[in-house]
Chains A and B, each alone.
Chain A
C-alpha cells in the first residue's frame, strides 16, 4: 500500500510536483465582474435545465391576473383602474415564490456555503444572484404585462416601452432587497412564512411608485410617469447601497 510508504516518508513522489510550482498555475484572484457573471450564468443555466421556477412563477402570476381581473369586472369589462394594482401584485407575489425556490436550490447541496467559502468577493456573489433573480422576475413580467393589456383591453402604443422600463426597475429593486433577505433566511426555520413578513414592508415604496407610474402611463400623464420612474431608480440605488453595505455582515453566522 502506498499509504504506508507515505506516512513513513515525507519526501514527495516524483509524480507530484512541489506545492510552490503548482501554485503558479493560479491567477491572483477572480475579479468582481467575472465572479458576478459566473454566478448569474450558473443560476440561469440551472434554471434553463429544469425551467421549474420560471414555469411555476409565470403560471402563478397569470392566475393572479386572471382572478383579479375577474374580480374587477363591470358590464363584462374589467376596470382599467385596477391594472396597476393587479400587475404589481402579480409580479411581487410570483416573485416571492420564485425567490424562495431559487434560494432553496442553494440549500439543497448547501451550495450557499460553498459560494461564501470561495475567495471570490462576497458582494460579487450577491450581485450575481441578484442579476439572476432580476432576469427571472423580468421573464414573469414579460408574460404579466401582455396578459394585463389583453384582459383589461388597454392600448398603450409606444408607452409600452416606458412601462417596460418601469417594470425592469421594479424587478431590480425587488431582487436586490429580496436577495439579501432570502440569503439571510436560508438558515432560519420558518423561512417560507418569514420572507413575506420581512420583505413586503420594505418593498412598499417600490410598489407604491410602481403602481403610480403604471397608473400615470395608463392615464396618459407621461410627466408624472417619468417622475415615478426616477423615484423607482432612486429606490433601487438606495437599496443597492444598503445591501452592499450589510450583505456580508448579514449572511455570516
Chain B
C-alpha cells in the first residue's frame, strides 16, 4: 500500500556536539513535490536521512500514514521509500544492470532483468554503457543510474538529495519530467536542491531550513523560477 501522508513533528537531531535539526514540523502529502531548500549545513540532508528511516531523530516523531492508518517504521515500510543521496548508492565494480538487478532482488521486484532495462530506458542510460562497470561512468551517468536505483521498487515516498548534480540540461529536463510523473502518480516527492530553475515548475510546497530550523513553508501549485528565487532569498539569506 502506498503512503498517503508523512508528518514530521518537532523533529530534532544532534550528532554529538552538533545540532543538525531543531524542532522541525513538516507535513508531506501524496501527489505533491516538496522542494526542501536552504544554505549548506541547514540540515536538509539530515531531514532526508530521517525521512528515509535510517537516521533516528533525537527528539520528535515522523508518522507515515497509509490510507488513514499510521504505519510502524518496519521492513515493509522501507519498500515504499526511494532514496537518491549524495553518494551513488551503487557498486562501482558492478555494471548498471547488475546493480539494478541486485537491488530489484532486495526489494522483491518480479523479473529484475526486465525491470532494470525498463528503468535504464526511463532515465536515459543507454546501450553499451549498461554493461560497463559503474566506475567508468561520468558524473551525469552515475546520477542517472542513482535515480533508476531510487525508482527500482516504484516508491510512494521519493527522496531526492541534489538530484540535478552532474546532469546536463537534457538530463535535468528529463528528471523534471519524471518528477512530474511521480507527482501525477500520487507519490510524495521531496527534492533537496540548489537548482531552483529546474525544480520551480513542479514545486507544490517549499520548505526552507536554516541552521537546523524551519524558517519558511509555502504551498502553491507550481512556481515560476522568479517566484521561487524570490521566496528563497527572502527567507534563506
Are chains A and B touching directly in their complex (CB below 8 angstroms)? yes
> Which of B86-94, B124-132, B209-217, B225-233 interfaces with chain A?
B86-94
A203 shortest CB reach to chain B, Å: 29
Q: Mark A17-37, 1 if CB is under 8 A from B, else 0.
A: 011001101111110001100
Is A117 part of the contact surface with B, judged by Cβ < 8 Å?
yes
B60 CB within 8 Å of chain A? no
B219 within 8 A of A: no
Give A16 to B180 CA distance when docked, in angstroms.
12
Nearest residue in B to A119 (C-beta to C-beta)?
A: B79
The answer to whether A42 has its CB under 8 Å from any CB of chain B is yes
Q: Considering only CB atoms and an 8 Å cut-off, how many residues of chain B contact the other chain? A: 55
Instruction: Count A/B pairs, Cβ under 8 Å.
Output: 149
Q: Is A77 an interface residue (CB 8 A)?
A: no
* A42 with B94: CB separation less than 8 A: yes
Contact (A46, B93) CB under 8 Å given A16-B185, A114-B103? yes
Kindly list chain A residues whose C-beta atoms are within 8 Å of the C-beta of B181: 6, 13, 16
Most chain B Cβ neighbours within 10 Å, of A7, A19, A39: A7
Interface-lining segment among B36-44, B61-69, B108-116:
B108-116
Partner of B91, one of A27, A111, A252, A253: A111
Contact across chains for B83 and A111 when beta carbons are under 8 A apart: no
- B window 71-94: CB within 8 A of A: 75-79, 81, 83, 85-94
Which residues of the partner chain A approach B149 to less than 8 Å between Cβ atoms?
Answer: 114
> Which interface class (under 10, 10 to 19, 20 to 34, 35 or more) fits A?
35 or more
Cβ of A111 and Cβ of B90 under 8 Å apart? yes
CB neighbours of A11 from chain B (8 A): 184
Q: Which residues of B contact A252 (CB under 8 A)?
A: 54, 56
Within 8 A of A (CB), among B185-202: 185-186, 201-202
9 contacts between A and B (CB under 8 A): A3-B180, A27-B109, A45-B93, A45-B98, A114-B103, A117-B81, A119-B75, A119-B106, A120-B106
Residues of A in contact with B (beta carbons under 8 Å apart): 1-4, 6-13, 16, 18-19, 22-23, 25-30, 34-35, 38-39, 42, 45-46, 49-50, 105, 108-111, 113-122, 252-253
Q: A119-B107, A120-B75, A122-B75 are in contact. List 4 more A-B contacts (CB 8 A).
A: A7-B202, A42-B102, A117-B54, A119-B153
